[in-house]
Each structure stands twice: as structure tokens, then as C-alpha cells.
Amino acid sequence: MNKLNCFPRHYLTNNDLKPVKWYNPRWVDYRFVSEKETNLKLLRDALCQAVKRQLMSDVPYGVLLSGGLDSSITSAVAKLYADKRVESDDQKSLVAHTTSLLWG
């Protein structure tokens, strides 16, 4: 079996199987962003609004914790809005169901 490596921001064509770079943002290089200040309040507010927007539902929802930082932060923000859920049976409590995925 031949192994094919493909990298982020690349694509392959049918003619040859050489990766072609199609996207090269300047912010990937730290030199272009090292002097930029980050508005942490703006970042937090944008994240909270994005999560809140995705939680609008009239049925129960769930989150998947992968163990990474992004899913942990998203779940923590979702918990902030858990008491404001709209449900038909007036259930206000947060229910956690857990499972483990084993990869062999």
C-alpha cells in the first residue's frame, strides 16, 4: 500500500500526486503578529456569542469533549448558558452522560 501525505492548506490533482500549496496566510508566521495586541475581552465576547448562537434549540443538546483545549473551553462556555435553555418539560438541570472511545 502506498502512503500519501497531504498537508494543511494543500490540494492534489489527478495529473500528479504532488501536494500544491493553495493558501499561505501571513499570520501563520509569528513575525507578522508578534507586535499585534490581542483584545481579550473582544475575543471572549465573540466566543461566548458564537457558542450561545449555536445552542439555540428547543430540544436537548450535547457536547463532545475530546480532551483538547478547544472542546473544554466551548463546553465551559455552554455551561454558562445551560440554565437559560428552552425545553418543553421545564427541565432545568444539566445532565451529563459519559462514554469512552477506545481506538485499537
DSSP string, 28-87: GSGGGTTT----HHHHHHHHHHHHHHHT--SS-------SSHHHHHHHHHHHHTGGG---
Instruction: Supply the pLDDT for residue 1.
Output: 45
Task: Give per-residue pLDDT as tens, 51-100.
Answer: 988 888 777 777 887 778 888 899 889 888 877 765 545 555 556 666 66
Examine the pLDDT at 38 and tell me if it is beyond 50. Answer: yes
pTM above 0.75, yes or no: no
Q: Which three cell numbers mark 39?
A: 483584545
pLDDT value at position 40? 92
